[in-house]
Amino acid sequence: MNRDLTTHHAEFIKAYDELGDALFRHSFFRVSNRDVALDMVQDTFVKTWQHVERGEKILNLKAYLYHVMNNLVIDYYRKSKSSSLDTLLDDGFDPSDSSVDIEEKAEMSLVMNAVGKLPEDDRQLVVMRHVDGLSITEIAEAIDESENVVSVRLHRAIKNLKKLYNHE
């Protein structure tokens, strides 16, 4: 048995323990469907591990995982051609958490509505930055753009988001 691969696998499982929830959150915000989001989390890790097994190097595992998930989200939209947060917005934001009071829930619905109206590219950046808490460098690596481009686009996306939110 390949000892290096075994070590990598242990690190890989550790990464799942640490990042599973965050990736699920990300996919949920992008596709607004719990089951689809769950499948995406699993597929993301499986595809990443297959990459490792082929002997490919991954310099930043976290960024690579988001990169894979982003591709899965793009594939999902190509297939379904549905808008990401439409269902969520139609049904109202429901985090399935009874501790959320009505006022807070309404506030969340408004901001989710605004996020849903952003163009997909802008939404992606907002989710990566403010849902996933990724750094500009990590986002740049995940979407194959320069840090400068990411900073400018993110700034513009947040500006648009605020406008949309204030008009709700």
Partner 1 sequence: MNDVEHIIYKSSRRISLRDDEKAAVRMRLLSLAPGASISQRIVLPFYSALGSFAWRHTASFAFVALLFFSGGLSALADKALPGSMLYPLKTGINEQVLSLFAVSKESKVEFNILLAQRRLTEAELIADEPSISPEVKEDHLKVVYAQVTVAAGEEEEETTAPVTSAMTKMAPQAVMMQATHDNTTPELHVVSLMNATAAVEVAPREDISNLRASLKKLQSILAEKEHDKGEMRERSIRAESKLLVAQKKLLEAADEKISVEKKNQYVDQAKEIIKQAQLFIDSVRQESKETLIEAVPVSVSDKKTIPAVTEGEASTTKDILIESNVDPSVLHN
Distance (Å, rounded) from C-alpha 34 to C-alpha 53? 29
Q: What character string, x for contact with partner 1 (CB under 8 A) and - otherwise, covers 82-121?
A: -----------x-x-x--x---x--xx-xxx-xx------
**Max Cα distance, the chain (Å):** 60
Distance (Å, rounded) from C-alpha 42 to C-alpha 49? 11
Distance (Å, rounded) from C-alpha 56 to C-alpha 98? 44
User: Interface with partner 1 by CB under 8 A: which range of 20-28, 57-65, 68-76, 138-146?
Assistant: 20-28
Counting contacts by CB under 8 A, is residue 126 touching partner 1? yes
Residues that contact partner 1, how many (by CB under 8 A): 46
Smallest separation, CB 22 to partner 1 (Å): 9
Smallest separation, CB 86 to partner 1 (Å): 14
Report helix angle 3-31 to 61-80, nearest 10: 50
The answer for residues whose C-beta is within 8 angstroms of residue 159's C-beta and 6 or more apart is: none
Q: What character string, x for contact with partner 1 (CB under 8 A) and - otherwise, covers 22-41?
A: --xx--xx-----xx-xx-x
Counting contacts by CB under 8 A, is residue 45 touching partner 1? yes
Q: Return the number of the residue (62 or 144) whose C-beta is nearest partner 1.
A: 62
Write down the residue that tokens 């690579």 correspond to: 64
Please name which of 33, 35, 22 lies closest in space to residue 61, comparing C-alpha atoms: 22
Please check whether residue 128 is in contact with residue 139, taking contact to mean a CB–CB distance below 8 angstroms.
yes
Binding site for partner 1 (CB under 8 A): 1-2, 5-6, 9, 12-13, 16-17, 20-21, 24-25, 28-29, 35-36, 38-39, 41-42, 45-46, 49, 53, 79, 93, 95, 97, 100, 104, 107-108, 110-112, 114-115, 126, 130-131, 133, 158, 161-162, 165
